[in-house]
Amino acid sequence: MTGEVILEGAALTKAFGGKTWLGKSSVIRAVDNVSVKVFEGETLAIVGESGCGKSTLARLLLRLIEPTAGEVRFEGTELSALKPHALRTLRRDMQMIFQDPFASLNPSMTVGASIAEPLALHGIAPARQARREKVRQLLVQVGLPPEADALFPHQFSGGQRQRIGIARALASSPKLILGDEPLSALDVSVQAQIINLLADIKARYSLTLVIVAHDLGMVRHMSDRVAVMYLGQIVEMGPADEVFAAPLHPYTQALLNSIPAAHPRFRSAAARLTTEPPNPASPPAGCRFHTRCPHAKAVCEETAPARDPALPSREVACHFWKEIANAGATPLQDAEPSKNFRRRLDLFRSRSERQSTTGYSLLDKASMP
């Protein structure tokens, strides 16, 4: 990447737990010595299995939780060194879209009041009428009618509530937005609309996006770079096109092989993950993936691999990545779907584009007063 670093985590570690009632230690390092940089204007995706630590890393990067060790810097400012007032001021520039679009909204507050909160908190629109006009503009920008500001969260569908969450994140005119699995609670057809909406607002507001996800198809479609996590550590990082075309780490290869094929004849015969990950409270010595890796050797059980700068734009933590790089996942672009499938896919995309451009025509009119 050629842009400036806007957000950086250095040697971040987050441990949960402590002594049990029997006096035994039960500490889980959800994030273990992770360093990552986010460049201005890019979309960085953090992916991995459930429980790998990606959501914990996201919260550490915004200082929603305090790290056990390490530092987080936003535009060169170390967040842990900031007093509460200074941190609150800085929060205007970095916002979050939460996974559950219903739990993240106060059910006792109208949509307008929820979106207006950051406007009042940061003094963006001190006058009540100015705040209301700004809220209504934001609702229109995310594809909802301005009259929706008088409604309550329960009167909207899941996709509409996620649009409200996006509007609230945009209210303070941030420089960076972090989405913690913003699509996982939505139907597939609605996911396409939200992906288009996120791409649109990123271009319109010149935003930097960090997306936590487990849907690799969505990640490939909308991200510039990908960081792959396993048991609290980043095992591979690089441009999305390169990672999907030629994954270097065996875990990344296994993840890509697990993507459902569009047609049975495109199914890969390569190995997939068939076993559960180890206990995170007692991770394996050496390479943490060696207990599930088909390429593991004795050195993998004894020595943890460093993140090798494999290529100018790639990083991978594997002792034998050079030997196994070409033996794993089938590049997704090689699996061409049938003409009939492509025709149906194009039809779905055209419908999604029409829906995204019509905006709030998708709102259930029966829910409106």
Asked if residue 201 and residue 177 are part of one domain, the reply reads yes
User: Of all residues in the chain, what percent carry a pLDDT higher than 90?
Assistant: 56
The residues pairing with 17 across neighbouring beta strands, listed in sequence order, are 27
pLDDT category, 318, cuts 50, 70, 90?
Answer: very high
On whether residue 275 sits in a domain, the answer given is: yes
Q: What is the pLDDT of residues 52-65, one digit of tens each?
A: 999 999 999 999 99
More confident: 187 or 109: 109
Q: Cβ(198)–Cβ(179) under 8 Å? A: yes
| 365 DSSP 8-state letter | G
Span between the terminal Cα atoms of the chain, in Å: 49
Whether residues 12 and 144 share a domain: the answer is: yes
Both tokens of residue 84? 């509460």
pTM value?
A: 0.84
Given a contact cutoff of 8 angstroms between Cβ atoms, the answer to whether 105 and 161 are in contact is yes
Same domain? 134 vs 255: no
Query: Domain range holding 267?
Result: 230-334
Residues 167 and 242 in one domain: no
Query: Which tokens is 3 given?
Result: 């842009």
Residue 127 resides in a domain: yes
Write the pLDDT tens digit of every residue in 228-254: 999 999 999 999 999 999 999 999 998
Task: Sort strands 69-74 and 5-19 into parallel, antiparallel or unpaired.
Answer: antiparallel
Q: Residue 233 phi/psi, 5° resolution?
A: -130, 150
Task: List Cβ neighbours of 61 (8 Å cut-off, separation of 6 or more).
Answer: 7, 9, 36, 38, 72, 178, 210
| Inter-axis angle of helices 111-121 and 128-141, nearest 10 | 120
Domain match, 212 and 257 both: no
**Strand 308-311 relative to strand 314-316, pairing:** antiparallel
For 3, 74, 252, 341, the CA distances from 330, given in Å and listed in that order, are 31, 37, 11, 20
210 and 248 share one domain: no
The token duo for 300 is 């993998």
∠ CA 307-313-315, rounded to 5°: 15
pLDDT score recorded for residue 336:
42
pLDDT digits (tens, 9 = 90+) for 258-275: 877 666 666 665 556 767
Same domain, 62 and 116: yes
What does pLDDT average to over the chain? 84
User: Does the residue 133 lie in any domain?
Assistant: yes
Residue 131 within a domain:
yes
> Residue type for 14, please?
K
Task: Indicate whether 344 belongs to any domain.
Answer: no
